[in-house]
Structures are given as structure tokens and as C-alpha cells.
Chains A and B, each alone.
Chain A
């Protein structure tokens, strides 16, 4: 099994948690600096949370122009699993690999707490093994997490089963309670909650394990 590449931008800060979480689930994972342009050695990619390029201008706006992003787009187009968590989700929308945008939370506060989610579609590399309707408790940790898109995009997301996770009690003003979406093919997923922080019931929740295990299996299947 080839490793999962965990991208590191200047200002990323969840990359070590992701490597550790994937390792605990049996997947080798390697950190990949954002200046890299060859991602052919990785069967799956994770864009972790943090504040890439300081989140200056808008979260993800500058990271989108990092040298690595061309290879990320190629991997996404080839059907390789690509997962964006929190800031990684923001980067994927800015890069146009996922539709819509993440804007400031309605309450203008940074929110850091566990939230209840529902799996609303299986058609993604992250949720393919978790039944629709399953309730998960996973932490969020963001200032700009309110998912926004126009009416046509929203209708398309709903009709295509691309809304993969929704909030039970919307914390940030996100459209349609959206916590995570996938592209039409299901191989590119972005979510605001942090599954890598929900790895142990002793620490509050182990609900991230099933999602990340499904992602790892998807990288093997896509290879």
C-alpha cells in the first residue's frame, strides 16, 4: 500500500494529527511540502486544517496558488481520493475543486467544540461505509465555516447526493446545514469538522475512525 500524502502549507497545523490518525488506522502517511509538484507516489491526498499562508485575504485564497495545487487538481481529475479538512475544505473551494465557498460564521465568533452531524449521502470516499442517517459527534474549530453557494449549485448538490454531512444543530449559518460536500464523482470531499480529532472515546469521540477508514480503503481501491 502506497502512502497517503498529507499536504503542508505554511501555516497548516493539523498535519501531524492527520498522519497519526491515518497511521493508527493502518495507513502509512507522509507529510508533503506545498512546493512539491509531483504527487504521483500517493494514492490519496489530505489537505489538513490550519491557516495556510496565514489565511490572508481569504482562507485558502493564497494556498490555491501554491505549486502543489496543480498536482492536486490532476489527482482529483484522475479519481484519486482527495480530502480537505477545515482549512483544507476552504482551499478546495477556492481552487474550484469543490463548488461554493466558506464564509465567516453568522455569529462572527470562532467556534471550537464537538458538534452532532448526520451522514446524508454515501456517495463519497469519506462516507461510503457509513449508513445514511448515522449520527456522529466530531469537533469543529473554525471562524469561516458557513458553507455558501447559489441556488442552482445547491439544487445540484442535493440532487446529486453530494451533500455528505449535515449539522444537527447548525452552529455557523451554513446553507442547508451543510458540514461537508463531495464533487460529482465522490472522490473529492471537503468538511469543516475534524475527524482526526475524533479518534478515541476516551477523548470524547471515536466517530472519526469510520470516516477515515473508509477514506483509506478508497485510496487502496483507487490505486
Chain B
């Protein structure tokens, strides 16, 4: 079976996120108030062939840890079937 999965990669808590900080600083000028903790990140969408969703997610988690994110500075989260 094929499962459509998503991996979100963001900088870890405590790691400076200059892009997120810059976006947040721009918000008041656009009339947004009360928006905080803005983090910028990356999203990866892909399909995995596997017998079941758990196996597909395990493959995605391995891919996320070894390539899509740098665990020194980033967190990766696998999201379920997004097809």
C-alpha cells in the first residue's frame, strides 16, 4: 500500500530562529496583535510504500532523522496519512 505522509521540520526550542523572529516582528505593522511564538520551518510531502501505516510512519521517521532534519538544531514531526 502507499501512504501519503508529511514531515514538518522546525528549529528546536532554544535554538535561535531568525526567520520566525523577523515574521513576528512584522505582525504589528499588519494589524495582528496577540500572535506569539512564531517559528519558521519546512514541510516535506511524500509517499511511502509499506504494508501498513505504522510501517510507513517508521520509514518516514527514519528518513526525517537521518536526512530531512539535523537533530543538532531541528525537530522533525511525522504526520499521518495526508492523501
Contact = CB atoms under 8 A, between A and B. Distances in A.
A108 B70 contact: no
A106 interface: yes
Interface residues of B, number: 11
A108 B72 CA distance: 20
B73 A148 contact: yes
Interface of A: 57-58, 61, 65, 93-94, 99-101, 103-108, 146, 148-150, 173
Interface string B1-31: 0000000000100011011001000000000
A57 B41 CA distance: 11
A103 B73 contact: yes
A107 B73 contact: no
A107 to B, nearest CB: 7
B18 A106 contact: yes
5 contacts: A101-B70, A103-B16, A104-B19, A108-B18, A108-B19
Contacts of B67: 57, 61, 65
B24 to A, nearest CB: 13
B72 A149 contact: yes
B68 interface: yes
Given A94-B70, A99-B72, 13 more contacts: A57-B68, A65-B67, A100-B72, A101-B70, A103-B11, A103-B15, A103-B16, A103-B73, A104-B19, A108-B18, A108-B19, A148-B15, A148-B16
Contacts of A150: 72
Interface of B: 11, 15-16, 18-19, 22, 67-68, 70, 72-73
A104 B70 contact: no
A32 B72 CA distance: 29
Nearest to B42: A57
B70 A146 contact: no
B16 A146 contact: yes
A58 B18 contact: no
Contacts of A173: 16, 18
A108 B16 contact: no
Nearest to A64: B67
A107 B16 CA distance: 11
A4 to B, nearest CB: 29
Contacts of B18: 104-108, 173
